[in-house]
Amino acid sequence: RAKDKGRDQYDFYTESLNNRAEQLMTLERELRHGLRREEFFLLFQPQVDLNTGDITAMEALIRWQHPERGEILPDEFIPVAEDTGLIMPLGNWVLQQACMQIKLLHQLLGRGVRVAVNISARQFRDPGLENVIDFALRTSGLEPRFLEIDIHEGMLSDEPEVARDQLARIRRTGVTITIDDFGTGFSSLRQLRSLPIDMLKIGQTFVKEIPEDGPNTDIATTIIGIAQQMEKQVVAEGVETEQQEYFLRMHGCSLVQGYRYASPMSFDELYRYFSDDSERELKA
């Protein structure tokens, strides 16, 4: 009996491994189809300046409207797109769409606002990234200062020299560069100082524990301090509570993003959000 049981478990184990491999292959095939059939879309999450109440930017966040499984979040498919190389066409699509849609929003609103686009590790390693960004800007007509490129801190640590050159090339296009989830990638301060960047983003893991006294609270205040010393802007993401807002404001971080202010929303919702906002401003 015991032997049978052991064998069953073994079979189960190999079966689940095969399932995992199969699942990944299916996902890859579906991603390919999804790209062709345009099953992807962007949501936008506003970033707010607590001092002025202004919307300073919004972050483009990809979603996949799967024909059978419904809406799928990026954490589920971006890693597979990254491993298979499909991130290249997908990432180009995101850049192009974000620029086009935000240009349209500018035309509708009669004023500009920045859009942040997430770039994956593979895209960041591509020597042609500068041209891809430039192409998206030129074909959409979006002014470079309205495009922000979000780069995960972890992508800078492998080959710091190469990363610095790439950042410099990207910045030549005139866009803003933000280090996303700063504090998770162990880049040295000396290295950081030499990087051509504009902003640091405090990841939600560090924001989550505010204001309880703990190591993550210390990290949040440390990041704000580093940004201030380097004269970079700093923005906190994943802000959900009044206490977190109070804490961040007290420590000199007035740029925030999170469910407390607005969830990621569709283009239509975004347009309405801005329209209501300008009404509020007119009334004030």
Q: Contact positions toward Mg ion, by CB under 5 A?
A: 118, 150, 180-181, 203
Q: Which is nearer to ligand C2E, 70 or 110 (CB)?
A: 70
- Shortest Å, Cβ 203 to Mg ion: 5
Nearest-CB residue to Mg ion?
A: 150
The residue among 30 and 210 lying less far from Mg ion, judged by its C-beta, is 210
Shortest separation between residue 25's beta carbon and ligand C2E, angstroms: 21
* Interaction partner, residue 183 (ligand C2E, Mg ion, none; CB < 5-8 Å by kind): none
Count each helix (H run) and each strand (E run) in the chain, helices first. Answer: 11, 9
Closer residue to ligand C2E, CB minimum distance, 15 or 71:
71
Tokens representing 282?
């007119």
Q: Which helix (H) or strand (E) holds 201?
A: strand 199-202
Residue 114's H or E segment, with its range, is: strand 114-119
Q: How far is the CB of 129 from ligand C2E (least distance, A)?
A: 12
Give the separation between CA 181 and CA 157, rounded to whole angstroms. 14
- Burial category of 64 from C-beta neighbours within 10 Å (exposed 0-12, middle 13-18, buried 19 and up): buried
The residues that touch ligand C2E, with contacts defined as CB under 6 A, are 45, 61-62, 73-75, 78, 91, 94, 118-120, 150, 180-181, 204, 237-240, 258-259, 264
Nearer to ligand C2E, 152 or 171 (CB): 152
Q: Which tokens in the block code for residue 39?
A: 């099953």
Measured at the CA of 16, the angle between CA 64 and CA 90, to 5 degrees, comes to: 20
Which structure tokens are listed for 68?
């059978």
User: Please, what is the minimum distance in Å from the beta carbon of residue 180 to Mg ion?
Assistant: 4
Q: Which of Mg ion, ligand C2E, none does residue 17 bind (CB under 5 to 8 Å by kind)?
A: none
Tell me which residue has its CB nearest to ligand C2E: 258
Q: Which of 141, 93, 89 is nearest to 117 (CA)?
A: 93
75 binds, among ligand C2E, Mg ion, none (CB under 5 to 8 A by kind): ligand C2E
Closer by beta carbon to ligand C2E, 205 or else 228: 205
Q: Report the residue count for the chain.
A: 284
* Binding site partner of 264, from Mg ion, ligand C2E, none, Cβ cut-off 5-8 A by kind: ligand C2E
Shortest Cβ distance from residue 59 to Mg ion (Å)?
Answer: 6
Residue 113 or 119: which CB sits closer to ligand C2E? 119
Toward ligand C2E, which CB reaches closer, 183 or 258? 258
Smallest distance, Å, CB 144 to Mg ion?
19
Shortest distance, position 190 Cβ to ligand C2E, whole Å: 25
Whether residue 207 contacts residue 258, with contact meaning beta carbons closer than 8 Å, is answered with yes
Contacts of 11 (CB under 8 A, 6+ apart): none
User: Do 232 and 201 touch, CB atoms closer than 8 A?
Assistant: no
Cβ–Cβ < 8 Å for 133, 173: yes
Three-state secondary-structure class, residue 258: coil
Which is it for the CA torsion 241, 246, 247, 253, positive or negative?
Answer: positive
Interaction partner, residue 101 (ligand C2E, Mg ion, none; CB < 5-8 Å by kind): none
